A and B are shown apart, each in its own frame.
Chain A
Amino acid sequence: MKQHLLVTRPEYDYTTRYISAWAKKYLKLAEQKGYAVIDLNRKRANRKEFESVVKKKKPTLVVLNGHGNSNEVAGENGETLVDINTNAEILADKITYALSCQSANKLGVKVGSYPDTAYIGYKEDFAFLRLEKYGRKPSEDSLASFFLEPSNAIVVSLLKGHNANDSYSRGKSEFAKNIEKLLTSKIKSDDSSALRFLIWDFKHLTLCGDKNKALV
């Protein structure tokens, strides 16, 4: 039976448009790997559809792209998709990666406390730099790539069957590679201004729950 990958991709401001555009890059790989992809893009990134799809399709991997805080992750127009008090258990027995602010601080800890469950996210705000001229073509923004490629590497690693801990480490390692690149003189000084934000994201990337959980 095909495994399902559920991805939420709201697009209602520049930040969500950016992370949504970059998320497209791993959807094709997921299909090539034999996953049935459920793509909740724009208006479909609402709580009713999210809960319905999780219950019916039972995705093994959930990737949440959107704004968030310590207690919740949101979909289109900031509508709460999952929060610590009302429906966190919906992510039980799955691997979740949240490209969202702060959610690993409390929500991720709760989700990670369920058996056979892993949650990878950020304990603090996910900060990144972008260049204004790429507003209409976010996936070509080389400055944003320093942040969004390491994020994508986590999902790619999970899709390749690596466990939560290895995939979390892969993300850390990709952030670290970019930090190292920016420390060398071969990089434009403009790009090196990204360093402070990369260190921030590197430091706050967090894994909660079952380190050995993998997609089978």
Chain B
Amino acid sequence: MSENDNNNEIKNLVMTRLETLPADAVVSLGSNGEFTKDQIIESVRRGDENGKKMIEIEMTFLQGLKDGILYEATSFSN
């Protein structure tokens, strides 16, 4: 699989996962601004800076699942 194919797969994965956001949710990414569900999905599709940030957030979460960040978080709460 080429790097381009891989990037497109990641984009598609993130866009699909963002569909679970509530319809009236607004994502605040600090100084980068605020985005409705449709806007942030579109940013990911376009691959602009906000989309890249959103992909980074999503991949941190997914990578974190593999690396046990949820275990780290839940052990922090105990």
Give the B-binding residues of A (Cβ under 8 A): 13-15, 18, 67-69, 100-102, 125-133, 143, 169, 172-173, 175-177, 179-180, 183, 189-190, 192-193, 195-197, 199-200, 202-203
Q: Which residues of B contact A169 (CB under 8 A)?
A: 76
Using C-beta atoms within 8 Å of the partner chain, give the interface range for chain B.
20 to 34
Question: B61 touching A132 by the CB < 8 A rule?
Answer: no
Question: In chain B, what residue has the closest Cβ to A202?
Answer: B73
Contact sample, A vs B, 10 pairs, CB 8 Å cutoff: A125-B30, A132-B24, A132-B25, A132-B36, A133-B24, A169-B76, A176-B74, A183-B70, A197-B57, A199-B70
Q: Does B48 contact A (CB under 8 A)?
A: no
Give the A-binding residues of B (Cβ under 8 A): 17, 20-22, 24-32, 34, 36, 53, 57-58, 60-61, 64, 69-70, 73-77
Q: Shortest beta-carbon distance, B53 to chain A, in Å?
A: 7
Q: A-B pairs with the 4 shortest C-beta distances?
A: A101-B30, A176-B77, A176-B76, A196-B61
Q: Shortest beta-carbon distance, A110 to chain B, in Å?
A: 19
Q: Which residues of A contact B20 (CB under 8 A)?
A: 189, 192-193
Question: A143 touching B28 by the CB < 8 A rule?
Answer: no
Q: Shortest beta-carbon distance, B78 to chain A, in Å?
A: 8
Question: In chain B, what residue has the closest Cβ to A122?
Answer: B30
Report the Cα distance A201→B58, complex, angstroms.
12
Question: B77 touching A193 by the CB < 8 A rule?
Answer: no
Checking A179, A192, A195 against B77 with a beta-carbon cut-off of 8 angstroms, the contacting residue is A179
Checking B30, B53, B73, B76 against A126 with a beta-carbon cut-off of 8 angstroms, the contacting residue is B30
Q: Shortest beta-carbon distance, A52 to chain B, in Å?
A: 26
Report the Cα distance A177→B74, complex, angstroms.
7
Question: B60 touching A203 by the CB < 8 A rule?
Answer: yes
Q: A101-B31, A176-B76 are known contacts. Are A131 and B70 too (CB-CB below 8 A)?
A: no
